[in-house]
Structure formats: structure tokens, C-alpha cells
Amino acid sequence: MLLVASDHAGFALKEALKVDLAARGIAYRDLGTGSADSVDYPDYAHQLAAAIERGEAARGLLVCGSGQGMAMTANRHPGVRAALAWSEESARLSRQHNDANVLALAGRLLSPQDAKRILSVWLDTPFEGGRHERRVGKIERS
């Protein structure tokens, strides 16, 4: 199952991506927000990242205006590796090399079509492991 969440600036794109996820048969749980009314992005990023941290899901999708705020907030949680992707290649590399388990997208900067392609690549790309596994292991601070 994929967790999804957005703030008001990412709401419309999140809704478009949910349609695409359903069409692909990918189960998801929407953690909010439920409208385009103004909210604080950290509230939703923390909720999703905490659920990943607790093991409720392996992966998540966050959408805000730029994607940056959501990624920065989510990355404060142990075990969360949120990647801001702006292209199919950045999404692919975030999975192959960094084992990103949360994807952050920019609701104000990406078209729904581009975001769908980026999400699709991110969902379909496996972690390569090997030399990257050692590097990913060095991300967490004790």
C-alpha cells in the first residue's frame, strides 16, 4: 500500500495521481488534506513519515507547492528517505541509488501528465543495492 498526502497547494495534483493509482490497481491510503483550503504542509508530511517510520506502509507520496517543504519535513524521521523528483530520471535515480521510500512532488510546478510519468517510474524502479547499499546505510545518524 502507498500512503499519500498533500497540502492545499498539492491537493489537485494528489487527486489526479490517485485516479492514476486506482487505474493501475495500486492500493493507497490518503492521509489528507481533503480540500484546497489552506493548511500547514508539515502536519501532513509528519503524519505520513511517522506512518512509514512505524512500518504501516513501505512507501509514500507527498505533494505540496514545490515539493521541498514536504521532503524536508519527512526527512526528519528515522528511516524515511524522501526524494524530491522533477523528472523521470531524478525519480529513477532516487530509487536505484538512494532507495527513496517517499516521493515528493511539486503541485505548482508539474503538470499532471509529467507527475504521473514521474510517479510511475518511481514506483516501478527497484533499488540496485550493491555499492549503493553501503551508502544508503550511512544516511541514518545514531
The one catalytic residue in 8, 46, 64, 77 is 64
Spatial contact of 81 and 135, defined as CB atoms under 8 Å apart:
no
The one catalytic residue in 8, 46, 77, 97 is 97
**Residue 97 a catalytic site member:** yes
**Residue 77 a catalytic site member:** no
User: So which residues are the catalytic ones?
Assistant: 64, 97
